[in-house]
């Protein structure tokens, strides 16, 4: 009973890898995110030709992984959470591909139209 | 009396698993709106196109939202270490940055409407307002959750040994940030035309 009472008032997750980034590491990650956003912003003024869209997508992908991996702790948590997120992303991508293929409507910049 | 913490057969806390299932479905929710936006890019019905977007202004908003993720994770970090004073401070800082973002979005929407980009003006305008508007609603819900968490730390409903509650609200907040990372590039920065 005592154990149950303890469980009722505390909620320390048992699924965590004990190593979480320190406050300093979080600030460093935020610094990297700031730098990546500045690079994205610079593409508004600098033309990168055929690499323009791929560059933006890569920068977006890195930012996505930094936030999900470190701020959302996916790098340290159980694999189940990562799989749930990937399932959602795959669902979203499938919907996009199905809709564009069905309607033959590709954005002009994608070079697929 | 607090409800007992239930764990699944995998040893995962039910509440955290529930939040991740919800977030997984939310990716598909926003995926549908992003798809609609991309499909209707060229259907402006003679109205304004994405050229009226103010990239400098939106970049500053994006930076504010990105930094709110830092303060959110610092709030969780403080809670893990039992430093409730600092945790409350970071939570308020996060909510404040969320308010700045939503206020900025309201200003941007007003500006667009004055320039002729109205939600009923064209499929493009509808898709834009639905996508960014739903994101704004999510940020607003996040602010309410943050302020609720902040007040619960004062009433004793959230104690220093319950950092998971901050972590779960943090997951939602970071999700909202991640969706904006995508919207910022797909809607504002990529020159689709």
Structural domain tally of chain B? 1
pLDDT by position in tens, chain B (length 193): 444 566 667 778 899 999 999 999 999 999 999 999 999 988 888 878 888 899 999 999 999 999 999 999 999 999 999 999 999 999 999 999 999 999 999 999 999 999 999 999 999 999 999 999 999 999 999 999 999 999 999 999 999 999 999 999 999 999 999 999 999 999 999 987 6
**Residue A85 shares a structural domain with residue A71:** no
* Structural domain contains residue B4: no
- In a mutagenesis test of the B interface, which of A4, A26, A71 is the best target, namely the one with the most B β-carbons within 10 Å? A71
* Structural domain contains residue B14: no
* Structural domain contains residue B35: yes
**Residue A69 shares a structural domain with residue A84:** no
**Residue A53 shares a structural domain with residue A97:** no
d(C-alpha B185, C-alpha B102), whole Å: 18
Structural domain tally of chain A? 2
Contact predicate A106/A100, CB 8 Å: yes
Listed in sequence order, the residues at least 6 apart from A76 whose beta carbon sits closer than 8 Å to its beta carbon are A16, A17, A19, A20
**Residue A65 shares a structural domain with residue A89:** no
Q: Comparing A45-54, A99-108, B2-11, B94-103, which segment has the lowest mean pLDDT? A: B2-11
**Residue A85 shares a structural domain with residue A67:** no
Give me the pLDDT at residue A3, please.
Answer: 43
**Residue A30 shares a structural domain with residue A57:** yes
d(C-alpha A47, C-alpha B122), whole Å: 29
* Structural domain contains residue B17: no
Residue scoring higher pLDDT (A113 or B58): B58
SS3 B161: coil
Domain of residue A94: give its range: 77-107
Q: How many CA atoms lie less than 13 Å away from A46 in the CB half-sphere?
A: 10
Write the residue in A9, A44, A53 that is nearest to B2 by C-beta: A9
Domain of residue B113: give its range: 30-189
* Structural domain contains residue A89: yes
* Structural domain contains residue B19: no
d(C-alpha A62, C-alpha A3), whole Å: 43
**Residue A63 shares a structural domain with residue A86:** no
Domain CATH for B167:
1.20.120.80
The partner residues of B13 in beta bridges, in order of sequence, read B7
pLDDT at A108 over 80: no
Residues 46-85 of A with CB under 8 A from B: 52-53, 56-57, 59-60, 63-64, 67-68, 70-73, 78, 80-81, 84-85
* Structural domain contains residue A25: yes
* Structural domain contains residue A39: yes
**Residue A41 shares a structural domain with residue A55:** yes
* Structural domain contains residue B146: yes
Residue B13 phi/psi, 5-degree rounding, is -65, 130
**Residue A41 shares a structural domain with residue A69:** yes
């Amino acid at each position: 009973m005592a154990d149950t009472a303890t469980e009722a008032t505390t909620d320390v997750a048992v699924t965590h890898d004990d190593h979480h980034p320190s406050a300093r590491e979080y600030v460093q990650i935020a610094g990297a995110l700031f730098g990546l956003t500045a690079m994205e912003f610079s593409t508004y003024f600098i033309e990168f030709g055929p690499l323009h869209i791929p560059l933006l997508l890569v920068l977006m992908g890195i930012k996505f992984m930094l936030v999900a991996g470190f701020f959302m702790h996916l790098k340290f948590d159980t694999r189940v959470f990562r799989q749930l997120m990937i399932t959602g992303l795959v669902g979203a991508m499938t919907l996009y591909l199905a809709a564009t293929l069905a309607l033959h409507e590709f954005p002009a910049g994608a070079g697929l139209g | 009396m607090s409800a007992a913490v239930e764990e699944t057969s995998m040893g995962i806390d039910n509440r955290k698993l529930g939040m991740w299932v919800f977030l997984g479905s939310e990716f598909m929710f926003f995926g549908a709106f992003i798809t609609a936006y991309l499909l209707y890019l060229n259907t402006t019905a003679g109205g304004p196109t994405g050229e009226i977007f103010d990239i400098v202004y939106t970049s500053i908003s994006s930076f504010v939202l990105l930094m709110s993720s830092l303060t959110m994770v610092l709030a969780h970090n403080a809670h893990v270490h039992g430093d409730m004073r600092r945790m409350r401070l970071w939570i308020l800082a996060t909510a404040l940055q969320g308010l700045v973002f939503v206020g900025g979005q309201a200003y941007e929407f007003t500006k667009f409407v004055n320039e002729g980009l109205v939600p009923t003006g064209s499929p493009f305008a509808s898709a834009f307002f639905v996508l960014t508007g739903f994101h704004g609603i999510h940020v607003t819900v996040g602010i309410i959750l943050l302020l609720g968490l902040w007040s619960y730390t004062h009433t004793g409903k959230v104690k220093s040994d319950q950092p998971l509650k901050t972590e779960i609200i943090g997951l939602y907040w970071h999700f909202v940030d991640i969706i904006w990372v995508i919207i910022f590039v797909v809607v504002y920065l990529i020159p689709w035309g």
